[in-house]
Chains A and B, each alone.
Chain A
Amino acid sequence: MNEELILQHGLTLDEFQVIRKYLNRDLSIEELGIFSAMWNEHCCYKTSKKWLKKLPTDNEIVIQGPGENAGVIDLQDNDGIAFKIESHNHPSYIEPFNGSATGVGGILRDIFTMGARPIATLDSIRFGLIETEKTKYLLNGVVHGIGHYGNCIGIPNIGGECEFESTYDFNNLVNAMAVGHVQKDKIFYSKPKTIGGLIVYIGSKTGKDGIHGASMASDVFSEEDEDEKRPSVQVGDPFMEKLLMEGCLELMSSGLIESMQDMGAAGITSSSVEMASKGNVGVYINLDKVPLRQPLSAYEILLSESQERMLAVIDKKNDHKVREVLQKWQIDYEVIGEITDTKRVVFESNNKKVVNLPVEIIVDDAPEYDREFYIPRKRKNKHFDFSKIKLEDMINNLLTNLNYLDKSWVFDQYDSTVMGDTIREPGQSSGIVKIHGTQKVIGASTDCNALYIRINPYEGMKHTVAESYRNLIACNLNPLAITNNLNFASPLDPNIMGELVLSINGLKTAAIKFNTPIVSGNVSLYNQTNEIPIKPTPVIGMVGSNMNLNKINTNKFCEIGNKILILGKQLTKNCSPYLLQDQKIALNICEFNDLEVLDLDFEKKIANCVLELSDLKCIMSCNDISRGGIFSSLLKMQYRDMGFNVKVSDPIDLFCEYSAGYVIEIRSKDLEEVTSFLTKKGVEYIEIGEIIKEGIEINSKKFDYFDIMNKYRNNFEKIIS
């Protein structure tokens, strides 16, 4: 086989030699396609596997950890929660609308493949600076795509994050998360059980879209690639997905199928190989039986990433009944093969075996690399000059920075209340939905502090996990488990590899301390265009619960006259990275001081106080403190024209970041009970002020409430238009 062809398929010559030696024969072009699809980063985690193995993935509530379509945790009684996050970065840069829409479609299929009904989606989207030519186009397309898919299928979008930073100028990020509810005794797995079981194809016909999508997702980009790679972006049809979801859930609840696998990245190849590998069996598939949209070669069928397709295994006797259910939902259905005992993957086309490979070589022998990595150098201690900074300018800097503004422009394009169980909508610290027919609620938050992680990958990742944790705690939710989406540039650069390794270590430390195992996830590497790498962006999605929906805290002010208390420990102003960056004090990444070590025990201690006080009904509203400090948290809490009057020794303190930071609203009559509770626990607090009507006052200086709120609410749309 010629070298160029091998390299075009994303395999190294060494990797090819391993295969060649094992098989002791030449490969067919279809077989080369299979290795191309299965041995890339996206499918086999060859760079990250060594490190991912170190993550905690199990505890008493984990029903299913990583390795299935989604992780599942126990929510007591017969309720389970399935959830996962996945990236669609490269497709969304090439074709933002379809790229992001199919990202949502893919993650929803991962959820209902487990037998779970999706009940919420979240997303984490990152773009370059708005001044960059393409950003507005990408932002519009991505938000439209996410909204279009989720709104049409009818799953509420309950939150997420949307940030802008020059590092994403030519490589925006789109990570979509979905959460589903499943009856614990009705979880479906991808492992087939019976030899001779029929392999059936369910869903949209196969077309040319997305051929080589998975290997594209594992590649470095140059700008000229854009047009050339556009055909690799899949096109989504949310109406078809809605039918597919209802059809599949009906089949699963009536016990008509044995196992199921979504045809996602690397299409029929990946789903059938994984099926065989999990069941330790073989698969035989006749490609001539695959429903096609247009004439395709065997090679194209194997690598197509057409959307809204499922592969399932059924008992022969159920063939007729399955067909009937799917006919009602107007979904294509075809028997295309069967489970064999050969432990081989066999694809036939035109009476010829075009692929005949042992499962072992594709899956177990997939490469695993221990790549070289560097540990970042120690940072010097630098003192910054804050003397020239004025309070008005600091406020103004926040109100002209997209990252701090009210993002209703984004969230309003998403349906957040469909399904009728939404308790907290997007734009608050966590989105929350009720488990239908119960009093239980599940909340989720997605977060990443890329700047922190660039400064110190290990501590930065701890801060990121802690921020998600606080987002849940602020709502009185018990943090339960994590899904992660590790977005990095090329791991072939030992500096980037170092960030990957150290941030995974940080994730591990924090997850163990919080007892929030990682149950699912995704890795997206090579996020760089024109050799400009993105900042390390390992996004985490954390879920938490409360068994009683009446105990949930709001993040919004409740009543004029109530007191405002601050819990937690302020990061010093010389060590508050976002303060330094966003107030334009430090301009170069080299200038920042090292991050303060995050004391996870302290995080837990303060969190427990917030939970206890919430259960005592002493907290009227609560918000965590993150980027933008206390001021930004207070701004987010404004509601029904209620503002705040606060006093602090140094106004800059209002903009510093925190560890274990919370703003809590307390009724005057509860103040003594709360403060004596905190004192007894040995927890420090600051009473900084109170809630007032239509006003913002800082150290007796009055600001125009409506002017600030108008800017906060409307500047986002102004800046991006």
Chain B
Amino acid sequence: MSFKSAVITFPGSNCDRDALCYLKDLTKGEVHNIWHEETSLPKVDLVILPGGFSFGDYLRSGAMASKSKIIDEVVKHANDNRYLLGICNGFQILTEIGLLEGALIRNKKLKFLGKNCFIKKKFKNNFNFSIKDNQILQIPVAHNEGNFYCDTETLNLLKNNEQIAFEYCKGEFSNNEENINGSIEAIAGITNKKKNVLGMMPHPERAYSDFHQSQDGRLIIESLIS
């Protein structure tokens, strides 16, 4: 059975092409690109909400995209127990829809952050299945609002339900920080309770090809396919 997937494009998405290439190159299956005004979604195994500045990120990051026509279908897809991955702006959209807990606020230094970061997996799920415990992944981030925040009660729930998928960590060498954007408990990615929806700030679609600085981003798709 070949793995089918789709990427949603909103006005202002700018990582949609990158996500499409990522899926085409790694899944070798059918990949659809869906415009935000569509009202139906093909039956696929994985949907990606890509990074970018949907609707200019005016109002609040991801807020306007969460009201797009296609979102009803995206929610149905998730309720159907199929995979949904929000990367960067996609993560922000997922919290705005309410499929994921918490919110993404301004980075602690109040500046855009575009650099390589290091993450490792926290709790096991189908998205990080192929990643070893304590394996350090190098993946770029590029965001203004990537500082994950939630109240203590939610945080406890996220921990108890093992919903924290990735956390920022220190790399192998001297020149990097542990928690680059100030996220609560250095959270870099979380899932929903059923663990079929993942939101993450780092961009795995920028770290998979031979010429990229790292190929660690492959592991997410490999986890889903295996």
- B22, chain A: closest CB distance, angstroms: 8
B15 at the interface (CB under 8 A from A): yes
Assess the A152–B113 pair: CB atoms within 8 A: no
Q: Report the separation of the CA atoms of residues A78 and B14 in the bound assembly, to the nearest whole angstrom.
A: 25
Tell me whether B12 and A239 are in contact (CB under 8 A): yes
A238 to chain B, nearest CB (A): 7
State the CA gap A330–B10 with chains docked (Å): 12
A240 to B11 Cα, complex, angstroms: 10
Docked pose: A158 CA to B18 CA in angstroms: 17
CB proximity of B39 to chain A, nearest CB, Å: 15
Q: A682 in the interface, Cβ–Cβ < 8 Å?
A: no
A-B interface pairs (CB < 8 A), number: 92
Contacting residue for A709 out of B114, B144, B174, CB 8 A: B174
Residues 213-247 of chain A, each 1 if its beta carbon lies under 8 Å from chain B, else 0: 00000000000000000000000011110110000
Q: Within A399-436, which residues are at the interface with B (CB < 8 Å)?
A: 408, 411-420, 422-423, 434
A372 beta carbon closer than 8 Å to chain B: no
Question: Are A417 and B114 within 8 A (Cβ)?
Answer: yes
Q: In the complex, what residue of chain B is closest to A414 when comparing beta carbons?
A: B114
**Contact pattern, B 41-52, Cβ under 8 Å of A = 1, otherwise 0:** 000000000011
Residues on A with C-beta less than 8 A from B67 are none
**Contact-residue bracket for chain A:** 35 or more
Tell yes or no: B205 within 8 A of A by CB: yes
Closest chain B residue, CB of each to CB of A710: B174
User: Is the Cβ of A154 less than 8 Å from the Cβ of B15?
Assistant: yes
Docked-complex contact B12 and A415, CB < 8 angstroms: no
What's the Cα separation between A255 and B151 when bound, in Å?
54
Q: A residues within 8 A CB of B211?
A: 423, 434, 549-550
Let me know if A415 and B142 touch, CB within 8 A.
Answer: yes
Select the stretch in B55-63, B72-80, B92-100, B183-191 that faces chain A.
B55-63
Q: Are A418 and B14 in contact (CB under 8 A)?
A: yes
* A329 interface contact, C-beta 8 A: yes
Instruction: Write the A699-721 contact mask toward B (1 if CB under 8 angstroms, else 0).
Output: 00000001001000100000000
Q: Is the CB of B206 within 8 A of A420?
A: yes
Assess A329 versus B11: contact at CB under 8 Å? Given A420-B205, A420-B206. Answer: yes
Task: Return the chain B residue nearest A439 by Cβ.
Answer: B211
The reply to whether A239 and B174 contact each other, CB–CB distance below 8 Å, is no
| Given the contacts A151-B142, A434-B211, A415 and B173 also touching, CB distance less than 8 Å | no
Q: Does B140 count as interface, using CB distance less than 8 angstroms?
A: yes
Q: Evaluate contact between A713 and B175: CB separation under 8 angstroms.
A: yes
A148's partner among B11, B52, B112 (CB-CB below 8 A) is: B112
Least CB distance from B144 to A in Å reads: 8
Chain B binding surface, main DSSP class: loop
Determine whether A640 belongs to the interface, using a CB cutoff of 8 Å to chain B. yes
Q: Which of A152, A416, A434, A549 contacts B114 (CB 8 A)?
A: A416
Which one, A238, A418, A420, contacts B56 given CB within 8 A? Answer: A238
Alpha-carbon separation in the docked complex, A414 to B56 (Å) = 17
Determine the distance from Cα of A243 to Cα of B111 in the docked complex, in whole angstroms: 25
Query: Does any Cβ of B come within 8 Å of A91's Cβ?
Result: no
Per the bound structure, the CA–CA distance linking A441 and B57 in Å amounts to: 32
The residue that B55 contacts in the complex, of A238, A239, A414, A422, with Cβ under 8 A, is A239
CB of B203 within 8 Å of the partner chain: yes
A706 to B15, CA, bound (A): 37
* Residues A415 and B56 in contact, CB atoms below 8 Å apart: no
Within 8 A of B (CB), among A660-675: none
The residue in chain B whose Cβ has the minimal distance to the Cβ of A143 is: B111
CB-CB under 8 A from A329, the residues of chain B are 11
| Set A144, A239, A417: member contacting B142, Cβ < 8 A | A417
Chain A residues closer than 8 Å to B203, beta-carbon distance: 417
Q: Decide if B53 touches A640 in the complex (CB within 8 Å).
A: no
Within 8 Å by CB of B17, from A239, A240, A419, lies: A419
Of the residues A154, A240, A330, A713, contact of B52 by C-beta under 8 Å: A154
Residues of B within 8 A of A237 (CB): 56
A160 at the interface (CB under 8 A from B): no
Q: Which residues of the partner chain A approach B55 to less than 8 Å between Cβ atoms?
A: 239
Closest 7 CB pairs of A and B: A154-B14, A239-B56, A420-B18, A415-B142, A415-B114, A152-B53, A417-B140
Extra A-B contacts (8), CB below 8 Å, given A242-B14, A330-B11: A153-B14, A154-B53, A417-B140, A417-B206, A419-B14, A420-B15, A420-B18, A420-B205
Chain A residues engaging chain B, CB cutoff 8 angstroms: 144, 147-148, 151-154, 237-240, 242-243, 329-330, 408, 411-420, 422-423, 434, 549-550, 640-641, 706, 709, 713
Supply 7 A–B pairs (Cβ within 8 Å), ascending by A: A152-B14, A153-B14, A418-B18, A418-B206, A420-B212, A550-B211, A706-B174
Which residues of B are interface residues toward A (Cβ below 8 A)? 11-12, 14-15, 17-18, 21-22, 51-53, 55-58, 111-115, 140, 142, 144, 172-175, 203, 205-206, 209, 211-212
